[in-house]
Structure 1
Amino acid sequence: MSLKIELRRVATNRVRLNVALAGEGPAVLLLHGFPHTWRLWTEVMERLAAQHRVIAPDLRGLGASTRATDGYDAANLAADAEGLLAALGETSAAVVGIDAGTPPAFLLAMRRPGLVRRLAVMESLVGALPGAEDFLAGGAPWWFGFHAQPGLAESVLTGHEAQYIDWFLDRGTLGRGVPADIRDAFVHAYTGAEALRCAFSYYRALPTSARQIQEAVATSRLTVPTLAVGAQPVGDALERQLRPVADHLVGHVIEDCGHIIPLDRPAALLDLLEPFLG
């Protein structure tokens, strides 16, 4: 990549986030999921940075950010993002979230529509909102329950992190895999019991996050222009969840694309994102 990327540690909401910064222009905040770091966005940052200031943090507890003891619910993660933008001097931003980055992106847009200029969310569900019944017909994916049991997954997986992360990277690209350097960065980021504890804390906070999302939609609507992007396996479930609560929603499903859209089909994603971000 010829793009010049600056890595900075930024204090927000009692943690320090490791943040990749590139480009100039209207801000675009990119929120990754599991098992990723900011490097999830490697294949899309260069084109985005041609028109925008790209802000790609490692989320709380993940990558090189503070391994906090708590605060992994969507509302607190949204506060992390809000504080990050403030610390960087941004008064508005487009916010893009995938997987675990989607619920905090959604709540930030619900709570601070004056701050969030546009919202793009991908390959996740937002709490227990109606619309995802078909996706959940066979129950939640098996790893949700495994990760949710306090202390279990990290005790089982410590020493076997590479094999576990590889399974998600292979499945999330329909067998195509990700570049070796990015794969190695992800494995490094999730190696060790403490790194795994932080990752699985996102799953342990899901009931709290779902309650926060339910409370938000009970009293207000999503007024920010929103793009919902699906692939395999989530498809259009996220769009169907958002449709009843959003004023301005466009949905797309990218064909022949795995869960890790920014690495599996970066060009197709950019073809949707660039005109939407405008």
Structure 2
Amino acid sequence: MTRGGTVTEQVRTRTNGIELNVATAGAGPPVVLLHGFPHTWRVWSEIIGPLSGGHRVLAPDLRGFGDSEASGEGLDAGTLATDIEGLLGGESATVVALDAGVPVAFLLALRRPDLVRRLVLVEGTLGTLPGAEDFLAGGPPWWFGFHAVPGLAETVLAGHEAEYVGWFYDQGTRGRGVRPDVREAFGRAYARPGALGRTLGFYRALPRTGSQLAEAASRTRLTVPTTAIGAAPVGRALEQQLRPLCEDLTGLVVPDCGHIVPLDRPAALLEALSL
């Protein structure tokens, strides 16, 4: 159940050799919602209900995250994009991605534009592609290095996973916080044995993801209508990365909004989607 009483069903779907947990609601043209770190499908809790009034919403837990099959392997963006390609089963959809989901959705749209009617990328970056130099001038956020060292973060944080991921929700909403039920669900998901370490596979696969992004961007332009949505801290960095790669790009920044846009300013995100 999501905000407003919308019934959200969770189903198991096998794709690309792995079983994904997918939250679904509504009927109509499909909308796929891809979360980031440290999230699960519940990062979309505030917008699934409104979207489901006219769309079939599919919000998967990415492989290794939440209730999807436990795996710390294959968390490079290319493999995750193939997972979502299988989830779509040949049907085209609007694809909305946040944070770590951004490079996944970007690669999916480059590889299979026939499956993506519209691409909406929220508060993420595309590796070291040109355009984000100002954002990355001081180096990547501190946790990128912490998470990249195999075995370190999950060992240091053992028994404190909920508190750790909770810090990101506070920072990502500029201190406003998230609904208690959503926060508790995130905490439970990441406190499961091995859960945090599995999701950190995303950071440990970043060199491979970076190579995939650079290669794809050198060969193909993004032809699907694309919207880049920034807030704090990414701002227009993603838009600037996308500008030379897109044939149809709209960029906007949500004012007074933290990184986790769908939880901090869901109404603004829904307005930007205009589905």
| AA of the residue aligned to 1:157 | L
Structure 1 Cα separation of the partners of residues 35 and 74 of structure 2: 17
Q: Does 1:139 align with 2:139?
A: yes
Output the amino acid matched with 2:83: D
| Equivalent residue number for residue 43 of structure 1 | 46
In structure 2, the residue matched to 1:59 is 62
Partner residue, 1:231: 231
Q: Distance in 2 between matches of 1:161 and 1:4?
A: 29
| Aligned residues between the structures | 272
Partners of 1:91 and 1:138 in 2: CA distance: 41
**Contact (CA 8 Å) 2:29, 2:55: kept in 1 or not?**
yes
Quote the residue 1:256 is aligned against: 256
Measured in 2, the distance between the counterparts of 1:81 and 1:70 equals 16
3-state DSSP of counterpart to 1:39: helix
Structure 1 distance, partners of 2:140, 2:247, is 28
TM-score by length of 2: 0.97
Gaps of 5+ in 1: none
Aligned twin of 1:74: 77
The yes-or-no answer on 1:119 pairing with 2:122 is no
- Is 2:33 aligned against 1:30? yes
Alignment match, 1:183: 183
TM-align CA RMSD: 0.9
Question: Counterpart of 1:139 in 2: which secondary structure?
Answer: coil
- TM-score w.r.t. the length of structure 1 is 0.96
Contact 1:158 1:193 in 2 (8 A): no
1:35 is paired with a residue whose SS is coil
Task: Please give the secondary structure, in 2, of the residue aligned with 1:177.
Answer: coil
Structure 2: runs of 5+ lacking an equivalent: none
Asked if 1 retains the 8 angstrom alpha-carbon contact of 2:72 and 2:199, the reply is: no
Per-residue CA deviations over 1:210-260 (Å, capped at 9, x if unaligned) read 100111011110001000000010000000000010100000100100001
Equivalent residue letter for 1:60: R
Native 8 Å contact 1:75 1:107 kept in 2: yes
Q: Does 1:220 align with 2:220?
A: yes
The answer to whether structure 1 residue 12 and structure 2 residue 12 are counterparts is no
Structure 2 residue aligned with 1:165 = 165
Aligned to 1:202: 202
CA distance in 1, matches of 2:178, 2:114: 36
Q: Any idea what the Cα deviations from partners look like across 1:114-140, whole Å, max 9, x if unmatched?
A: 111110001110121000011011110
**4+ residue segments displaced more than 2 Å:** none
Q: For 2:123 and 2:158, how far apart are their aligned partners in 1?
A: 27
Instruction: Give the Cα–Cα distance (whole angstroms) in 1 for the partners of residues 136 and 72 of structure 2.
Output: 30
Aligned 8 A contact 1:28 1:52 in 2: yes
